[in-house]
Structure 1
């Protein structure tokens, strides 16, 4: 080992034990989620607006309406907690 020479990394030809080389993905190390093919929100989105539009489309096309109701209730509760923390006066919404 010389002073001016850098050490080279070792290269191994490792293949996993239960790897089928004829698979559809090609790489055994690629991680792909189960529902990526069915969702629009997964993938390369360029900007914030396109991400938001894709998320709204995914929410509208969701067939499970109970999940949508639950999501709206959770968002409403979080907004009320935020308004309570910043001491927002809710009495302006109610008439006397």
Structure 2
């Protein structure tokens, strides 16, 4: 009687369709295509290392217009946030 027998799982010999036969790399590894060129991806030990790697990556970017655009967007978002929380900007200006 088969009440106490456990059914065995089926085994298949599966090879991925786009896996090259040379055996380079893991076919099941999901990796971004720019990971090899960036320092910020991977294991970073501390906060100082993370910040230094991010700054080096930002300095290595030759597209300065994009950097200025990002800084401009960040400044606009900060001003909108200060407006929403009703922050008084007059404390930064001297009364004469």
**How many pairs are equivalent?**
94
Range that drifts further, 8-17 or 58-67: 8-17
Q: TM-score, normalised on structure 2?
A: 0.77
In structure 1, list runs of 5 or more residues that go unmatched.
Answer: none
Question: Which residue number in structure 1 is paired with residue 65 of structure 2?
Answer: 66
RMSD (CA atoms): 2.2
Runs of 4+ displaced beyond 3 Å: 5-11
TM-score (norm 1): 0.77
DSSP 3-state at the match of 2:80: helix
User: What is the aligned partner in structure 2 of residue 81 from structure 1?
Assistant: 80
Which SS does the other structure have where 1:37 is aligned? helix
CA distance in 2, matches of 1:62, 1:68: 8
Which segments of 5 or more consecutive residues in structure 2 lack a partner in the other structure? none
Specify whether residues 92 and 27 from structure 1 end up closer, same or farther in structure 2 by C-alpha distance, changes over 3 A only: same
